[in-house]
Amino acid sequence: MIPMTYSAEVAQARSAGTAIVALESTIITHGMPFPQNVETARLVEDDIREGGATPATIAVMNGQLHIGLEPAELDALGQAQDVAKLSRADIAACIAAGKTGATTVAATMIAAHLADIHVFATGGIGGVHQGADQSFDISADLQELAQTPVTVVAAGAKAILDLPKTFEVLETLGVPVIAVGQDVIPAFWSATSDITAPLRMDTAAQIAAAQQMRGAMGIKGGQLITNPIPKEAEIPAATLAPIISQALAEADAQSISAKAVTPFLLGRIFELTDGQSLKANIALVRNNARLAAQIAIAMAA
Ligand code: PSU
Ligand code: MN
């Protein structure tokens, strides 16, 4: 038996059969500073409600797999110290040991699928890190997209990564990468990149139909929806390039490795941009939540 706890609103949406959108919790505990992390999590949940769907923020708390957090639980998680960052490799061990952990994209997809939720919104997925030829650091998020049938709405992969290699790996793994409303893949804080999108779709209904067809055909895995940050909120890639390089050089000099790499880089880029990167991150997550609500509604119809 999996110890799963549904929030009141998620339980209600499940019995009514209405649209639900999963949200991850690593972005809260490891991706943004307090108190903006909790404020953003609330805004994102509200965006989904305003879009006509129900938010289900996923986390492991004291050995319970929470599908939807009550407001006080969200507050507690947002301020908790030393929370584990859970992926496919360690989510089961965390639950079995009665501990607390935040779910990455990979772990959130696993939990969403267990709860029969088909759509999930986040900021940016993990991917192939710069220097992966030496470090072999490739996020488990990519493998998860290849095997778990959840549509993930993100602003692409985080721009701290080696984006061309990340999208090559996704192609190899058979993951559909769909750009929304444009022909190139967005680059997280920037709306565009020079990488041509393998697929383009312009409506939530097309995205929902594509996932449902994969399911009907018995093709396993999810879809990555790359939704560009709104133009007025973006930081141009040229502005960010030297900042990302500096953060990467510092991570290297300090021998930051494994699960610490992404939180370190996001934290340094926040400092080096005087908080502008966080503003953009908040804008893109909210934009993704709004689209995810539309997709979930199209799938529930
Ligand atoms: N999106 C954000 N900020 C984040 C993340 C996503 O805007 O911090 C998290 C997700 O949980 C994703 C993780 O799975 O970063 C990637 O971590 P890694 O590179 O260690 O696989
Ligand atoms: Mn990694």
Ligand 1 site-directed mutation target among 60, 85, 91, 104, most atoms within 8 Å of CB:
104
Q: State residue 281's pLDDT score.
A: 98
* Average pLDDT for 270-284: 98
Question: Which residues have CB under 8 Å from 243's CB, separation 6+?
Answer: 269, 272, 273
Confidence of residue 296 (pLDDT cuts 50, 70, 90): very high
CB of 123 sitting under 6 A from ligand 1: yes
**Ligand 1 contact, 45 CB (< 6 A):** no
Q: What are the angstrom distances between the C-alpha of 88 and each of 26, 39, 93, 156, 158?
A: 13, 27, 10, 21, 19
| Catalytic residue annotation | 24, 158
Tell me the CA–centroid distance for residue 230 and ligand 2, in Å.
Answer: 28
Q: Could you read off the pLDDT of 125-182 as tens digits, one per residue?
A: 999 999 999 999 999 999 999 999 999 999 999 999 999 999 999 999 999 999 999 9
Q: Mean pLDDT for the chain? A: 97
Does 25 contact ligand 1 (Cβ within 6 A)? no
CA-CA distances (angstroms) from residue 105 to 150, 175, 222, 273, 275? 11, 15, 12, 25, 24
Residue 289 pLDDT: 99
How far apart are the CA of 204 and the centre of ligand 2, in A? 31
Of ligand 1's listed atoms, the one at least distance from the Cα of 102 is 11
197 pLDDT band (50/70/90 cuts)? very high
Q: Is 137 in the pocket of ligand 1 (CB under 6 A)?
A: no
Whole-number Å distance between alpha carbons of 174 and 170: 6
**Atom 17 of ligand 1, residue of closest alpha carbon:** 126
How much is the pLDDT for 166?
98
* pLDDT reported for residue 115: 98
- Which pLDDT score, from 0 to 100, does residue 244 have? 97
For 199-209, what is each residue's pLDDT tens digit?
Answer: 999 999 999 99
Identity of residue 11: A
Percent of the chain with pLDDT over 90: 99
* pLDDT range class, residue 222, cuts 50, 70, 90: very high
Kindly give the distance from the C-alpha atom of residue 124 to the centroid of ligand 1, in angstroms, as a whole number.
Answer: 6
pLDDT category, 300, cuts 50, 70, 90? very high
Q: What is the arithmetic mean of pLDDT over 7-28?
A: 98
Task: State the closest ligand 1 atom to the C-alpha of 141, by its place in the atom list counted from 1.
Answer: 14
Provide mean pLDDT across the span 183-211: 98
Burial of 132 (0-12, 13-18, 19+ CB in 10 A): middle
For the segment 20-76, what is each residue's pLDDT rounded down to a tens digit? Answer: 999 999 999 999 999 999 999 999 999 999 999 999 999 999 999 999 999 999 999
Residue 267: what pLDDT? Answer: 97
Segment 71-98 shows an average pLDDT of 97
Partner residues linked to 219 by β-bridges:
none
For residue 103 and ligand 1, the question of a CB distance below 6 A is answered with no
Q: What is the pLDDT of residue 17?
A: 97
Ligand 1 contact via 127 beta carbon (within 6 Å): no
